[in-house]
Amino acid sequence: MDFIGMPVLQVLLLAIVFFGLLVEIKTGGLGIGALLGVVAAGVFFGSQYVKGLVSFYQIAVFLAGVLCIIIEILLPTVGLLAGVGTAAMLYSVVLALGGDINAIYALLASCVLAAAVFAVIVNRLPSSRLWHKMVLHDQSTSARGYVSAEARPELVGRWGEAFTELRPSGKAMIDGVLVDVVSEGDFIPQGTRLVVVLTQGSRVVVRRQEKS
């Protein structure tokens, strides 16, 4: 009985291949992920080749994809080689599995399984330059000085004075507080009395105070 030909074991072998790829990208050349992935890929493609289900072309496409990713790990560029390599590997795997919808299902199942296992241990692995390029680490938090624009609807109807010229944007002193404002489109000289007529999020719209 050909155990390697069983769909579940094919998915497991592919999951090991993709898991090894993720580990290698994360660690950046330690070789652990590469060794694991090469062994699993060798068993997978070897068994498929013996049964006549894959050709040298499909194996060559897979190896070319692996080579692209290795080059990207060692000499990080803009990520183009990593994308091309990944696409080539996925294409060759789909062909090796039969090139039909079931092949795509098996591929997706193996990717999900590999990602799930990788997510469990990702924090225990060292990080490579490529990994830092792929993953966003910084966060826009208030501790880092990032604050969202604050809406100020309570300013509507308040009076103030143009602290700078409004062309049409500028600053106005409203209730003793300096506020970024914008006129309704016309130029307003510095020192002109103003009234707030509208707020839209952080945008404060003012109008020249009409003389009574």
The ranges assigned to domains in the chain are 3-134, 153-208
| Cis amide bond preceding 189, omega within 30 | no
| pLDDT exceeds 80 at position 104 | yes
User: What gap in Å lies between CA 48 and CA 5, rounded to an integer?
Assistant: 8
Residue 69 has pLDDT above 60, yes or no: yes
Residue 138 has what pLDDT? Answer: 45
- Fold (CATH) for 153-208: OB fold (Dihydrolipoamide Acetyltransferase, E2P) (2.40.50)
Report CA-CA distances (Å) from 79 to 56, 129, 153. 27, 11, 46
- Residues 168-203 have pLDDT tens digits of 888 999 888 888 888 887 888 888 899 988 888 778
Q: Give SS3 for 85.
A: helix
**pLDDT of 47 over the 70 cut:** yes
Of 1-10, 34-43, 74-83, 130-139, the range with the lowest mean pLDDT is 130-139
pLDDT of residue 101: 85
Distance, CA of 126 to chain centre:
20
Which amino acid does the sequence have at 85? Answer: G
The residue ranges of DSSP E strands in the chain, in sequence order, are 159-162, 169-174, 177-183, 193-200, 203-208
Question: Between 34 and 58, where is the model more confident?
Answer: 58
The token duo for 187 is: 């130029």
Q: Average pLDDT in the 90-99 region?
A: 83
Q: What's residue 77's pLDDT?
A: 59
Q: What digits encode the pLDDT tens for the residues 117-172?
A: 888 877 766 554 544 544 444 444 444 444 445 667 888 888 889 998 888 888 99
Tokens of 113: 């399984």
Residue 171: CB partners within 8 Å, gap ≥ 6? 162, 163, 164, 178, 179, 180, 181
Q: Is the pLDDT of residue 4 over 60?
A: no
Q: 3-state DSSP call for residue 125?
A: coil
| pLDDT cut 90: percent of the chain above it | 1
Residue 73 has pLDDT above 80, yes or no: no
